[in-house]
Chain A
Amino acid sequence: MSNVYMKKSTRPKIFTTFFGLVMLFPFVWMITSSLKNSVEAFATPPTLLPKHPTLENYRHAFQAMDIPRLFVNSISVTVICVLLQLLTSALAGFAFARLNFRFKNVIFMLYLATMMIPFQVIIVPLFIEMRQLGLIDSLVGLGLPSVVSAFGVFLMRQAMLAIPRELEEAAILDGASHFRMFFSIALPLCRPTLAALAILASMSVWNSYLWPLVVIFSPEKMTFPLALANLQGEHLTDWPMVMAATTITVIPIAITYLILQKQIAQSFLTAGLKG
């Protein structure tokens, strides 16, 4: 960036640094609160760092919810849904970008139209449908709405359109079938888009709250967001314990984010600008 006209000013730098700390502070407060005893946590004036750090809240969090179970549920639902979403999206994306068939445009329009249906709008009939199928209060019912994504198909189609035609023609001359072409040429070339879709899909499944709230009742079938929300008491909430529980769930996400930061930002941009 060579924005000469702003070169000398340091004010934006101070502003953004200060504001960056403001942005970060709620996370810092979450962690320090989780390490305080119940007296200090509610103290006035508030203390920034715990005077008598304790892990008691973490012990309570492990008692209040079955954390290993929640990890297993959240991770298995996320991994399976994301893999299926990648596969179904890539397959259809390949067909729309690379194959000739009747009604191609009509079917693709149907996908585009589906992209515009907000999930919130269909939640009532979807619940009724799952009820008919006997999938209420099951991880299958929880995951099913995330195994396909019209947006994913759209994204994969765009990526597959960019594959040079020469590669395809060479493969056809070699006698490769469509499936060979898909697996050995198209998929490897679309790795960046697959990664972007994987990131977006896994965040959306991992963080999902509304659908689990509707479809899951048993604590042993919950995923993290629902279980966390349920930690609140009817009248009184043990906030230091809740902060310990949220810290446990935020730390793995934050570490993943630090590692994949560039790709994550890029995938949001891809979604934003193409969607």
Chain B
Amino acid sequence: MKKKSDGRAAALFIAPSLIPLLAIFVLPMIAAAVISFTSWDLLSPPHWIGLDNFQQLIHDKEFLHSLTNTLLYISGYLPMVYLLGLAAALALNRKFKGSGALRALYFLPVITSWVVVALLWKWILNPSGGLVNSALHTIGIQGPGWWTSKDWSMISVIIPSAWKDLGFVMLLLLAGLQAIPPEYQEAAAIDGASKRQILFKITLPLLTPVTFFVIVISLINNFQVFDQIWVMTAGGPEGSTNVVMGEIVQNSFNYGHMGYASALSMVLFLIIMIVTGVQLRLQKRWVNYE
């Protein structure tokens, strides 16, 4: 009974998703690869230029700058969101009055859109009349220019990003913490281990699989960071927050360089594939328990 083929029914079940999937994801993915070898402004037909786009992007100062900006953004965002998310998860990994409400509170920014988050923080960090600088001014400190200053713009986009994602990181880490059998920590406590020892020798090592997972998805998502930066600074001032995705959007939709933008997309794709590949390779080695 199990072995008979249900080919005709299966076709009907699969076609409604397979056809759109091919049209919306697979075909554009192949097209992106092909277009990256052309020069195309959408007005005249594309023409094949081989590897020219890729040769150009290696020397493109703006692109390289956007790449280092993306890395800079990640190197500020990731430790911030992870450490704060970990602190929240450790503190909320017990039931007390109001712990459920607090978890809900931490998670509220996660469901808010990036655009709202960006506008909200842009106003809070407004150089004149914004909450932070007004408060600083009240105690006699001249606040910085935040998103209008090229020295402060990066931190101005990192803070809202970490604020928004913290609850998600906390949620994953909480699930990880709750999977640790309490007997481990209890046994260590009975043997006289201090809280700090329990944290660093038992809890955190057992949390490495989740930590690893958080780092990988954060890397995958944030190499593509765009929304909040575009709303807050549009890549400025003076390109100080221009990230790879901003460079792709500008090249394609502002300058009409479809070929070059596709080449940049392929570089982004390659980076994300490398992160995914590293994950698949290391996953087995990192998992401490199941």
Contact = CB atoms under 8 A, between A and B. Distances in A.
Given A117-B25, A121-B29, A26 B163 contact: yes
A5 B198 contact: yes
Interface of A: 1-6, 9, 12-13, 15-17, 19-20, 23-24, 26-27, 29-30, 33, 41-46, 87-89, 91-92, 94-96, 99-102, 104, 107, 110-111, 114, 116-118, 120-129, 131, 144-145, 147-148, 150, 153, 169, 172, 177-179, 182, 203, 206-207, 209-210, 213-214, 224-226, 228-229, 231-232, 239, 242-243, 246, 249-250, 253-254, 257-258, 261, 264-265, 268-269, 272-273
Contacts of A120: 224, 226, 245, 248, 265, 268
A224 B113 contact: yes
B175 interface: yes
B276 interface: yes
The 4 closest A-B pairs by CB, nearest first: A42-B129, A207-B113, A125-B31, A95-B13
Contacts of A42: 128-129, 134
Nearest to B185: A5
Interface of B: 1-7, 9-14, 16-18, 20-21, 23-29, 31-32, 35, 42, 87-88, 90-96, 98-99, 102-116, 118-121, 123-124, 126, 128-129, 131, 134-135, 137-138, 163, 166-168, 171-172, 175, 178, 182, 185-186, 188-189, 195, 198, 213, 217, 220, 224, 226-227, 230-231, 245, 248-249, 252-253, 258, 261-262, 265-266, 268-269, 272-273, 276
A246 B121 CA distance: 12
A166 to B, nearest CB: 13
Contacts of B32: 121-122, 124-125
B26 A225 contact: no
A99 B95 CA distance: 44
13 contacts: A4-B182, A4-B189, A23-B166, A30-B120, A92-B13, A124-B265, A128-B35, A153-B17, A225-B113, A229-B230, A232-B231, A272-B172, A272-B213
B10 to A, nearest CB: 4
A246 B185 contact: no
Contacts of B99: 16
A93 B3 CA distance: 19
Nearest to A239: B123
Given A41-B129, A42-B128, A210-B226, A272 B31 contact: no
A6 B94 contact: yes
Contacts of B116: 225, 228, 246, 249-250
Given A148-B20, A210-B226, A101 B245 contact: no
Contacts of A126: 24, 28
A26 B108 CA distance: 11
Given A26-B120, A45-B135, A243-B123, A88 B108 contact: no
